[in-house]
Structure 1
Amino acid sequence: MNTSVIYALAAAALFGASTPLAKVLGTEVPPVLLAGLLYLGSGVGLLLARCIRDRSWKRSGLSVGEWPWLVGAIVFGGILGPVALMFGLTRTSGATASLMLNLEPVLTALLAWVVFKENADRRIVLGMLAIIVGGIVLSWPSGQAPGVSHSLLGPLAVAFACFCWAVDNNLTRKVSASDALYIAGAKGLFAGLVNCTIALMLGAQWVPVQVLTPTLLIGFLGYGVSLVLFVLALRGLGAARTGAYFSTAPFLGAGISILVLGESVSWLFWLAAAFMIIGVWLHLTESHDHTHQHQPLEHTHRHIHDEHHQHEHVGNEPAGVAHSHTHQHLPIRHNHPHFPDIHHRHTH
């Protein structure tokens, strides 16, 4: 299996588990403060891990032109998105919110296709339509979940969070060749500080240690490590495909809500799940193969010497060992199955 696919599925598993766990914490922590603490756990944990890895603090390695993309990703994905999700979790069940998150890959793919000109073929479009239908069914008030408001406000808030993360995914794709730990850590730290500050200004009380510790841990794993893996997957799959694999996250979250939290669901939930499963299957079984032209390119990322990396070295790095340095790609025309990764962002 492609390593990037494994990264995407692992990211999905971690994030999917965080949603119902965050709902449990949400009974004691205000939504904005909870979002801030989750991202704070992510940012602090990842930046500490980066310092340990490098044995010191190192510069980001981002170019001047990449910073606007990262700042935009922080605003949409680190501030607006989590606040909307935490608000939605207070007005809908954890299982429903988990499956509603399947709208994120749909919106990610639409933005990647329409705005950022990433390829999306018929199978991707059909999968998106199936997931949209599932989201509509899931949003329909059924009155079956006790103790939860049956208005559309909760699902709409979760849908808006999905849109914010879709924007975030496409902006992060622009900087995905850079250090994944720095990108994810910077997003988490900045978003966490801003959200915690807003929450405290709105009158939220700081949480006790017995609540703070698990919240930061969930944030580190479900938002931090998950985001690092997501960035690594973006390098190899592009935004739309990574979003498709990541759409398996809500099914794990829904399973935890049903099995662990004991939430009840209606027949509409299972009908929506069927549509979403079909959509995810169409995404995961998509293949893309055609003759394409590589333009000259210079960038830095971890790589081995393969058909796309045939450059010479000043040092003595072994060809079969992964290493990182600035290198140039010469023009090449060939045919092989590929995804819109950092080497295949050509037009169609």
Structure 2
Amino acid sequence: MKTRVSWSPSVYAALGAAALFGASTPFAKVLLKGTSPVLLAGLLYLGSGIGLGLIRLLRDRGWRMPSLSRSEWGWLALAIGLGGVSGPLLLMWGLATTSAAAASLLLNLEAVLTAVIAWVVFRENTDRNVVLGMIVIVVGAVLLAWPDTQQSTSGWSRGSLFIAGACLCWALDNNFTRKVSASDALFLAGLKGMVAGVVNTGIALALGAALPGTVAVGEAMTVGLLGYGVSLVLFVLALRGLGTARTGAYFSTAPFIGAAIAILFFGEQVGGVFWVVFVLMAGGVWLHLAERHEHMHTHEAITHTHRHVHDAHHQHTHDFPWDGREPHTHEHTHAPITHSHPHYPDIHHRHRHP
């Protein structure tokens, strides 16, 4: 009898990442008044990088270099360059000549491109429920922005291409980050925040932007720590357990969460379309939660490092003194094994399907 894959910790992580990122949007909109968009992006990322760096130092009681392979450093560098630097710059260039409504619609391309790249390029497995769930969630996101598009029909030329390019950068970033998602999520998110923050802030200052007051800087960095930093940590944890396409689908609920917060805390008014979107997005998430994926599969031998317990996939001995506490983190090797059980395309289930 097949067991239903449902509310795993990874699902909570993906929805938590979407909630924090979605919540950051209305707050960032308030902070944007009187501040350069590129400078604000830099401050948000700096808040993420510095905040997560301090948390990691306290957690580890000092600096510890993660054990990434050469190829993993390559994937991480590509993810940071595309998602932390190129993506935000393309978005700002696009927003300069594109209406907010058109930009909102175009930003929904990220979830679609993330899934397509995961399925076509990286051969991540999918099934009917996942595809339908993705379609329903994206349709909901489009409808959420659609009423505003009646106010403007301009800005669908070069600016649109810049925004579409930003979505492509972030979609590639999501897929590349999955390649290193078994590593320390705090380190990955913190490094991305520091690099993106320094680069974007430097570009803004070079273009003549002036730093806002101390209070405004602190507010921006706080929003960045939660909406960009902690959100990205949860996103990496979700990638580790769900795979790229499913994580991207859950994360695409962020615009709805942001809109809900704008309604509850900023008094924005909504019409009937909002509640249609609520039903669509809830239905899309439910389709993913109702997914059943179980078959006989083979795990090839692999050596990597991540936080784990000694479950069916972690039956190894230790070459160091161990006090028996779990979960713990160390480099370990998985011996080949063939078995059947419900699973996601997580870091231990990246096998091909016939």
Tell me the residue number matched to 2:319: 314
Task: Specify every segment of 5 or more residues in structure 1 that has no aligned partner in the other structure, as ranges.
Answer: none
Q: 1:170 and 1:248, CA in 2 relative to 1: closer, same or farther beyond 3 A?
A: same
Q: CA deviation at 1:247?
A: 2.4
Tell me the residue number matched to 1:18: 24
Q: 1:278 and 1:226, CA in 2 relative to 1: closer, same or farther beyond 3 A?
A: same
Which one of the candidate residues 200, 204, 210 is aligned to 1:199? 204
Tell me the residue number matched to 2:256: 251
Q: CA deviation at 1:266?
A: 5.8
Q: 1:250 and 1:266, CA in 2 relative to 1: closer, same or farther beyond 3 A?
A: same
Tell me the residue number matched to 2:120: 114
Q: 1:312 and 1:287, CA in 2 relative to 1: closer, same or farther beyond 3 A?
A: same
Partners of 1:217 and 1:245 in 2: CA distance: 24
The percent identity for this pair of structures is 59
Deviations 1:284-325 (A, max 9, x none): 332211111111111111111111111112345366621111
Q: 1:229 and 1:139, CA in 2 relative to 1: closer, same or farther beyond 3 A?
A: closer
The 8 Å contact of residues 142 and 268 in structure 1, kept in 2 or not, is answered as no
Which one of the candidate residues 28, 52, 55 is aligned to 2:61? 55
Q: CA deviation at 1:36?
A: 0.7
Which one of the candidate residues 43, 64, 68 is aligned to 1:37? 43
Tell me the residue number matched to 1:75: 81
Question: TM-score, normalized by length of structure 2?
Answer: 0.87
Q: CA deviation at 1:272?
A: 5.3
Q: Identify which range, 54-63 or 331-340, moves more after superposition.
A: 54-63
Equivalent residue of 1:282, what SS?
Answer: helix
The 8 Å contact of residues 41 and 217 in structure 1, kept in 2 or not, is answered as yes
The 8 Å contact of residues 141 and 151 in structure 1, kept in 2 or not, is answered as no
Q: CA deviation at 1:133?
A: 3.6
Partners of 2:12 and 2:322 in 1: CA distance: 27
Tell me the residue number matched to 1:3: 9
Q: 1:160 and 1:255, CA in 2 relative to 1: closer, same or farther beyond 3 A?
A: farther
The residue identity in structure 1 corresponding to 2:27 is: L
Partners of 2:286 and 2:327 in 1: CA distance: 32
Q: CA deviation at 1:16?
A: 1.2
Tell me the residue number matched to 1:151: 154
Q: Identify which range, 49-58 or 75-84, moves more after superposition.
A: 75-84
Q: Identify which range, 160-169 or 186-195, moves more after superposition.
A: 160-169
Q: CA deviation at 1:51?
A: 1.5
1:65 matches 2:74: no
How many residues align? The count is: 343
Q: CA deviation at 1:208?
A: 1.0
Q: Identify which range, 10-19 or 315-324, moves more after superposition.
A: 315-324
Which one of the candidate residues 277, 285, 288 is aligned to 1:283? 288
The residue identity in structure 1 corresponding to 2:256 is: F
Deviations 1:105-136 (A, max 9, x none): 33221111011111121222222333444455
Equivalent residue of 1:260, what SS?
Answer: helix
Which one of the candidate residues 292, 299, 303 is aligned to 1:298? 303
Deviations 1:228-271 (A, max 9, x none): 11111211111112222222322210112233333345666555
Partners of 2:46 and 2:234 in 1: CA distance: 18
The 8 Å contact of residues 293 and 331 in structure 1, kept in 2 or not, is answered as yes
Tell me the residue number matched to 2:100: 92
Equivalent residue of 2:266, what SS?
Answer: coil
The 8 Å contact of residues 235 and 342 in structure 1, kept in 2 or not, is answered as yes
The 8 Å contact of residues 42 and 224 in structure 1, kept in 2 or not, is answered as yes
Root mean square deviation, CA, Å = 2.8
Tell me the residue number matched to 1:327: 332
1:127 matches 2:130: no
Which one of the candidate residues 238, 242, 247 is aligned to 1:237? 242
Partners of 2:148 and 2:230 in 1: CA distance: 36
Partners of 1:278 and 1:84 in 2: CA distance: 32
1:46 matches 2:52: yes
The residue identity in structure 1 corresponding to 2:61 is: R
Q: Identify which range, 266-275 or 77-86, moves more after superposition.
A: 266-275
1:263 matches 2:263: no
Partners of 2:121 and 2:83 in 1: CA distance: 18
Q: CA deviation at 1:140?
A: 4.7
The 8 Å contact of residues 309 and 327 in structure 2, kept in 1 or not, is answered as yes
Which one of the candidate residues 225, 230, 234 is aligned to 2:230? 225
Which one of the candidate residues 186, 190, 214 is aligned to 2:191? 186
Tell me the residue number matched to 1:208: 213
Q: 1:310 and 1:143, CA in 2 relative to 1: closer, same or farther beyond 3 A?
A: closer
Partners of 1:210 and 1:50 in 2: CA distance: 25
Q: CA deviation at 1:31?
A: 1.0
